[in-house]
Amino acid sequence: MKQHLEPDHSGPTSVRIDALDPAFSPAASALAEQLGLPLSGEAGFSLQLGEQGLQLQELGPGAAGPVRVDFVEGALAHRRLQGGGAGQMIAKAVGIQPGVRPTVLDATAGLGRDAFVLAQLGCDVTLIERQALVAALLADGLRRAESDPEVAAIIERMHLRCGNAIEQMQSWSDEAPQVIYLDPMFPHRNKSSLVKKEMRVFRPLVGDDDDAPQLLQAALALATHRIVVKRPRKAPCIAGATPSYTLEGKSSRFDIYARKSLKGKA
């Protein structure tokens, strides 16, 4: 797993760094310097470093439990062991088929769950996350997973970058990805009880992806074969180009912008 982190200090909500044990104080101090965050004081969130790695804890009454990235256990482990393999809708959306495992750029990586599924299925995946705090959580999860013998090979296919995805796509110097995957944060709806814990925690920090049309435009200019956009099932398409076709599930859908057919490498 390769990482290239360039911190982006965007985000208006206050966050502090806390070591959950004195043994982690030096590492917490280094992280605070890297992210430009304080080690004390009033804050709405605490980025905590402890034996289980890095986690983000909302502070105050009624706060949900901490959010951390775990590729070894929990929901992703269940999906890895019991999931639908290449029959999953996301696999069909990116064009996985017998003999075809496209290179994928996940330009809105978040906590890396969809990228992990694609890497598990054999795709080489580059992840871009522009919010430095989210990228730090993701990098920590990738580092911890590297030492697990069952998932280490999957993590080797995941390569994390931190920074503005639009700018990185516009100045891309590596071999162009065959598929670009976008899952932009969509505008908030007043149904907080239906929103996942991670969404409730991260929305104050990252906001909505108001530049989704620019993301799509940059992706269309870079991807060689297709762009895949994950959307809530009833949400409108991203403004701009019209999807070639759509795959629809119960709560979400994939808008596919096809450029040319994916074929196995000779």
CB 180 within 8 A of CB 218: no
Q: Is 211 annotated as a binding residue?
A: no
Residue 46 three-state SS: strand
> Is position 113 annotated in a ligand binding site?
yes
Q: Cα–Cα distances in Å, from 121 out to 10, 98, 184?
A: 33, 11, 22
Q: Is 129 annotated as a binding residue?
A: yes
Instruction: Kindly give the pairing relationship between strand 53-58 and strand 45-50.
Output: antiparallel
Question: How many Å apart are CA 127 and CA 33, to the nearest integer?
Answer: 23
183 is an annotated ligand-binding site residue? yes
**Rounded distance between C-alpha atoms, residue 7 and residue 34, angstroms:** 7
Task: Classify residue 74 as left (phi > 0), alpha (psi -120 to 50) or beta.
Answer: left
Beta-sheet strands, E only, within 11-98: 15-19, 45-50, 53-58
Please list the alpha-helical segments (H only) found in the chain: 25-35, 75-82, 89-94, 113-120, 132-146, 152-155, 165-170, 197-206, 212-222
114 is in an annotated binding site: yes
74 is written with which tokens? Answer: 């929990």
Q: Angle 132-146/197-206 helices, nearest 10 degrees?
A: 130
Extract the annotated binding site for S-adenosyl-L-methionine: 113-114, 129-130, 183
Extract the annotated binding site: 113-114, 129-130, 183
